[in-house]
Structure 1
Amino acid sequence: MVRGKTEMKRIENATSRQVTFSKRKGGLLKKAFELSVLCDAEVALIVFSPKGKLHEFSSSSVINKTIERYITNTRNLARQGKIAEEENIQHLKDEAADLNQKIEFLQDYKRKLLGESVGSCSIDELDQIEQQLEQSLSNIRTRKNMLLREHIDQLREQEKVLRNENTELRNKANETELLVQPLAQATDVETGLFIGLPQTRTS
Structure 2
Amino acid sequence: MAREKIKIKKIDNKTSRQVTFSKRRRGLLKKAQELTVLCDADVALIIFSATGKLFEFASPSMQEMLGKYKHHSNNNLQDDVNEPCLDLQLVEDDEVRLPKEISEKDREMRQLQGHDLQGLTIDELENLESLLHGGLSRVLQTKDEKFGNEISYLQEKGAKLMEENKLLKQQMMMISNGKQLQTMPVEVDDLMNTHEEAGQSSESVTTNMYSCNSGPPTEDDGSDTSLKLGLPFN
Return the offset for 1:185. Answer: 2.6
Q: Is the 8 A contact 1:48 1:55 kept in 2?
A: yes
Structure with the bigger RCO (C-alpha within 8 Å, sep 6+) is: 1
Equivalent runs, 1:100-111 vs 2, <5 Å: 100-110=95-105
RMSD: 4.7
What amino acid is aligned across from residue 97 of structure 2 in structure 1? K
Aligned partners of 2:80 and 2:24: how far apart in 1? 37
Instruction: Report the CA distance shift for 1:20/1:71 in structure 2 as closer, same or farther (over 3 A).
Output: farther
Larger radius of gyration: 2
TM-score normalised by the chain length of structure 2: 0.50
Instruction: Report the CA distance shift for 1:145/1:114 in structure 2 as closer, same or farther (over 3 A).
Output: closer
Look up the SS of the partner of 2:47 in the other structure.
strand
Look up the SS of the partner of 1:44 in the other structure.
strand
Match of 1:202 among 199, 204, 227: 199
Instruction: Report the CA distance shift for 1:100/1:126 in structure 2 as closer, same or farther (over 3 A).
Output: farther
Q: Structure 2: which 5+ residue stretches go unaligned? A: 1-6, 35-43, 111-115, 188-195, 201-234
Partner of 1:35: 28
Return the offset for 1:36. Answer: 1.9
Q: Structure 1: which 5+ residue stretches go unaligned? A: 9-16, 116-120, 193-198
Instruction: Report the CA distance shift for 1:93/1:134 in structure 2 as closer, same or farther (over 3 A).
Output: farther
Return the offset for 1:29. Answer: 3.6
Q: Is the 8 A contact 1:44 1:59 kept in 2?
A: yes
Equivalent runs, 1:1-203 vs 2, <5 Å: 20=13, 23-38=16-31, 40-41=33-34, 43-47=45-49, 49=51, 54-59=52-57, 65-66=61-62, 68-82=63-77, 85=80, 92=87, 95-110=90-105, 112=107, 124=119, 141-190=136-185, 201-202=198-199
Aligned partners of 2:56 and 2:8: how far apart in 1? 29
Percent of matched pairs sharing the same residue: 8
Aligned partners of 1:82 and 1:101: how far apart in 2? 30
Q: How many residues were matched structurally?
A: 171
